[in-house]
Amino acid sequence: MLDKILTSPDIPERLLAAMRYSTLSGGKRIRAMLVYAAGLAVNAPMARLDAVAAALECIHSYSLIHDDLPSMDNDELRRGQATNHIEFDEATAILAGDALLTQAFEIISSKESELADHQLRKICQKLAVSAGSTGMVGGQMLDMLATNISLSAVQLENMHKRKTGALISASVICGALCSDHCSRDTIKALDNYANSIGLAFQVVDDILDVESSTEILGKSSGVDEALGKSTYPSLIGLKESKDLAENLYQSAIASIAGIGDNAAQLAELAELIVKRQH
């Protein structure tokens, strides 16, 4: 889907190359998988899920490109290859990120998304709120401000809920919103599930930054400590962090117990997120 969308001859060649470079470079696609898993749990049509999954991956890619910039985390390696501004240049990387964010809203509002107008409205609102100043961008701002400052556990959770959790939660909820029949109770259950795995994702990220190697991660390891960033291991200890991840996993599984057999993929994804090695 993304490969097909990111081919327009009307996009300047260098910009398109930079957009494709970061979006089609084989990330874990966890957000797209969450869209499909949540959508399948409530019998949403595939064409709609394709569009929403593509939009989520565009937003995720844009956020990685901008987070890696020299004035932000100044990272040179991502998914085992040079970051966007290293492969291209800073201006191109900023523009590729801007374009991918905008592309997300183009995708969901196109006729090809097959979303009903009222579904589009809810999904557009959820995406924008989750990605914007009170969500992901706000979380990145808090992260920038937290360098070399010790955060409390509450502050750390607040930062991660925005920076990573909001978009993960949006993936699950927007997948469900593609369905013509999704009860409020199901949305509530999915929201609980999403909040648990969203936080678990970050806790595991922090653990991997301590325990794993640059080679396995495909991005620089030990970065948090080098940048003087608060992490779960530094704040509550490594073993306690692993216990927290396990508890969040159990909580996620419990949240979706009432949804039925179609929720099997959601359970598998929760496991993937907590047990992953990179």
Residues that bind a second copy (CB under 8 A): 8, 10-12, 14-16, 19, 62, 66, 69, 71-72, 89-92, 94-95, 97-99, 101-103, 105-106, 108-110, 117-118, 120-121, 124-125, 127-129, 131-134, 137-138, 140-142, 144-145
Q: What is the CA 30 to chain-centroid distance, rounded?
A: 7
Helix axes 153-160, 184-211, angle to 10 degrees: 110
Residue 257 CA to residue 246 CA, distance in Å, equals 17
For residue 219, the minimal CB distance to a second copy (Å) is 19
Residue 175 CA to residue 239 CA, distance in Å, equals 34
Neighbours of 63 (CB within 10 A): 21
For residue 61, the minimal CB distance to a second copy (Å) is 13
Q: How crowded is the C-beta side of 106, counted as CA atoms within 13 Å?
A: 10
Residue 168 CA to residue 173 CA, distance in Å, equals 9
Q: Whose Cβ is closer to a second copy: residue 64's or residue 189's?
A: 64
Q: Is the distance from CB of 265 to CB of 41 less than 8 angstroms?
A: yes
For residue 71, the minimal CB distance to a second copy (Å) is 4
Q: Whose Cβ is closer to a second copy: residue 25's or residue 251's?
A: 25
Paired with 77 in beta bridges are 82
Q: Whose Cβ is closer to a second copy: residue 16's or residue 208's?
A: 16
Q: Whose Cβ is closer to a second copy: residue 62's or residue 201's?
A: 62
**At 132, which amino acid appears?**
G
Q: Whose Cβ is closer to a second copy: residue 71's or residue 148's?
A: 71
For residue 222, the minimal CB distance to a second copy (Å) is 22
Q: Whose Cβ is closer to a second copy: residue 102's or residue 247's?
A: 102
- The phi and psi torsions of 78 (rounded to 5 degrees) equal -150, 130
Q: Is the distance from CB of 107 to CB of 113 less than 8 angstroms?
A: yes
Q: Is the distance from CB of 143 to CB of 163 less than 8 angstroms?
A: yes
For residue 138, the minimal CB distance to a second copy (Å) is 5
Nearest CA to 34 out of 164, 162, 168, 155 is that of: 168
Q: Whose Cβ is closer to a second copy: residue 89's or residue 185's?
A: 89
For residue 242, the minimal CB distance to a second copy (Å) is 30
How does 187-216 read in b/e, with b if 16+ C-beta sit within 10 Å?
Answer: bebbebbbbbbbbbbbbbbbbbbbebeeee
For residue 217, the minimal CB distance to a second copy (Å) is 23
